[in-house]
Structure 1
């Protein structure tokens, strides 16, 4: 059927066969993918594919119903001045495309949203009292049938902002029968994030008995096949595994009319763009798309231009200052002393919590390799610091057990690799320790953003060796720039990575030349002067002029 070839896993695809794309169909409802698709990263010219293979409609077709929705009369009566005041108070900014109707008012109570009574029952059951800012604005926009390009501060309740409208949309459709594809589809970058999303969807679909299916790698295909073939209302999936099931004919896109791309920036980073395209190109013409991204690099804007229909852009919170709430500390250490330093650092916190001091916060320790994960956790446990490890070598059951122990606070330390922890949303992480620094600055930004979320304060401690000198210089420079008010000092995305490669080459060249002399660049959180050699001064200059088009990292991965 011309689909992107995938192996059964959902690891980042890299270069293994993930370069296919499909011919688009023209549709008056949707912009036809054109030059934007190339800009968004086509690996090769589109090739022909069988549309019917993906979008076949078993037992006849059901065109999606998009019911007319209106808020309560009280909300409808608000003046422009009142609406502006509400947005300002919620720290929400919205932008509609030129020539399009104004954006619906943010609504500060679930009752005024005129939700289906079943959803209201579930909101009450789960003791949700008032919507968060992203829910106040995102839910009404989605209920009014418009596409959304959303960028919300982490820990903001984003999942509910798409789960509630999606369930309301499903309740307006004819029932799903055996052999039908789903009505709602959520694509997310990782298993863990997909599991968290499904849990929330189930919470709001409890009374309605909304049938959901989670489709991720690491679980036997046949278990998922049965659910999909029987027919479900909503599928929450990682892109690679969902494509596998489409290829095998276990489900289809014939009824999909509400699509959510969550953490789209991370999906692109992990190489899933071909899979996203494959799905988006084969949807029925009449559908609604919500795209959420922690960052807004140019690649995301290009993706939105191609696959979203006149979207409303919604931003909540200080999206461009990911590390403002995180106190960052850098400690020089060689490989032989890192374990002792870590054990002493965490041991002291554990001791204080046991002798009347503040309770030890949840701590994530990042290491470079999965075998090191188990070793570090073992040493910490033997030193009396309860720890679990999380890496790609564990079974799904082992991963879930480790996460449940950590999120419940039964163990205070999670030792993890980057890949295993992507998409993780555990509230209350107070400390991130980089036992091994990552190779890329962007990964550093996302790591430390696990803490300091939703307005709380966090700490990040990084052990660095001589080989990390370039990254450390970038970090110090970015901290200094952030303090001077340059909110794009921690920029991420493809453009930022390209700039980083160029800076790294210049850095190595300057190191060889041995240019000397030092200068002081601002102070860090502790009031300590951050020294940067003059030979690195070009980096400060580059950070100060970072392009706003490149976007900036949010505080890591959302709910």
Structure 2
């Protein structure tokens, strides 16, 4: 059996690994570390929870043990898609490099530029960053990437698939062509692999598990749920989630609850809090300080339920997560593998459960096609539709924030309009009417006083201009009745010229 001592790592690195409690490398580590130490490009593919981070951190520390960084010129670069994953890589670097004199800088958003600039000015060996903040520093003239010797792209498929391609291409263009490049990910679709071939030169492909496979230690299940009414779907779906948590009982020591939208993350977290569950949200719109406090509290055991978007689905290492609940079926099948990979890590047992509504059945089929197996169906804990007074606070908050539109024009009128007595009277059956013999219709001509015009005139009765006579006709077949604008008497001043008027 291969041990870390057989991988030609720096003795100081081996000492730190032993103190961390590791003796035997995982398959991805055993396959990637020797090729990386030889200076080859590496494309590492392995399922989540298999130690990919150490697979590039350990050889990187060994390669950088000799030499010294210069100001604003880092010697290695690690790109991560999220702030949390970048911070976790930095923690791994601190753990394995404590006996090696290497410096690092963490460049992520939500943190002051000043502190990051001070570290860069001193010179750092390892630069761990998200693409956006890295380019911000470069455009401000604070970074020079011409001395990068090792470049690592963690979660490569997400970096290339979720809009980072222009940034990645720009960053690669700023680094020297002779660099060593390491790509690591849990999934690698064929179209993404073609993109990586433009960045890697004759890479050593290390694939220790079937692509997009989930760990066998994770027990999976899905609840097919259909709401009693469409407008109650969100509320009843949250009740199903609470029922699934209660059904697990003490076995659910802690859990990550994934939602597709940031807005749903906040709503679900508020709903769980209202019903007495210890829960907190984490997503990209929150302040970095709040995200860090929430994540630290979950890792330390102070927080039981972490309601998260996919910002927490990639690479976050919390070893003791017992359950993962997918409140929404992920729209990308690969995201499901990453989500459930937060449990069952390092050989532990885990459980992943999901709620699927009718509109998500296509996404569920895509996930089962990716996994090449069916996910077992679970019985819904929601036996009967909830009573009207059991709507949770999150639903009420949504209703208050966004009032429903009603057809009633008056604010005081109820939403469900009742028929008024007048309407009932009209709707009642009409009284019988005596039948009369038909009488010849005689044309009746209405006459109006000369000093008052009729209030309503149809379009046919409106006066029309007679082009030949220069007057007006009241209807097509009527007699010519010329209308004099001011009557028979015209004021004398109208006949005066303009000069005569001024003189007057």
- Looking at structure 2, the residues matched to 189 and 417 of structure 1 have their Cα atoms a distance apart, in angstroms, of 14
Distance 1:448 1:139 in 2: 26
SS in 2 for 1:307: coil
Partner of 1:150: 44
Q: What CA deviation, in whole Å up to 9, does each residue of 1:21-79 have, x standing for no partner?
A: xxxxxxxxxxxxxxxxxxxxxxxxxxxxxxxxxxxxxxxxxxxxxxxxxxxxxxxxxxx
**Equivalent-residue separation in structure 2 for 1:467 and 1:525 (angstroms):** 19
> Partner residue of 1:100?
none
Counterpart Cα distance in 2 of 1:285 and 1:417: 36
Cα distance in 1 between the residues matched to 2:296 and 2:320: 14
CA distance in 1, matches of 2:62, 2:215: 36
For structure 2, the residue ranges without an aligned partner over 5 or more in a row are 228-232, 380-504
Equivalent residue for 1:137? 31
For the Cα contact (< 8 Å) 1:190–1:423, is it kept in 2? no
Quick one: structure 1 residues 478 and 306, their matched pair in 2 at CA, closer, same or farther if it must change by over 3 Å? closer
The equivalent residue for 1:193 is 85
Q: SS at 2:322's partner residue?
A: strand
Report the number of matched residues. 372
**CA displacement at 1:310 relative to structure 2:** 1.1
1:125-171 C-alpha deviation (Å, 9 max, x unpaired):
32322222222222111111111111122211111121111111112
User: d(CA) in 2 for partners of 1:311 and 1:232?
Assistant: 27
Superposition map of 1:46-445 within 5 A:
108-173=2-67, 175-177=68-70, 179-322=71-214, 325-332=218-225, 333=227, 334-349=233-248, 352-353=249-250, 359-419=251-311, 421-445=313-337
The residue aligned with 1:462 is: 354
| C-alpha spacing 1:275/1:470, structure 2 compared with 1 (3 Å) | same
Q: State whether residues 392 and 420 of structure 1, in contact with CA within 8 Å, keep that contact through their aligned partners in structure 2.
A: no
**TM-score computed with the length of structure 1 as normaliser:** 0.62
Q: Deviations over 1:261-310 (max 9, x none)?
A: 11110111221111111122232233211111211212332233222121
Q: TM-score, normalised by structure 2?
A: 0.68
Deviates more, 1:257-266 or 1:443-452: 443-452
Residue 473 of structure 1: how far off its partner (Å) = 4.6
Decide which of 354, 367, 376 is 1:525's aligned counterpart: 376
What are structure 1's unaligned runs of at least 5 residues?
A: 1-85, 87-107, 354-358, 484-523, 529-559
Note closer, same or farther for the CA distance 1:207–1:123 as it changes in structure 2 (3 Å cut): same
Q: Secondary structure at the match of 1:301?
A: helix
Structural RMSD (CA): 2.5
> Is the CA contact 1:326–1:451 (under 8 Å) kept in the aligned structure 2?
no
Q: CA deviation at 1:457?
A: 4.4
Matched with 1:532 is none
Q: Distance in 1 between matches of 2:208 and 2:378?
A: 31
- Report if the CA contact (8 A) 2:47-2:212 is conserved: no
Rounded to whole Å, the distance in 1 between the matches of 2:48 and 2:206 is 14
Other structure's SS at 1:393 match: coil
Asked if 1:482 corresponds to 2:377, the answer is: no
SS at match of 2:3: coil
1:214-258 CA-to-partner distances (Å, cap 9, x unmatched) read 111121222211211221010011111111111111111121001
Larger Rg computed on CA atoms: 2
1:463–1:301 Cα change, 3 Å: closer
- 1:361 Cα deviation from its structure 2 partner: 3.6
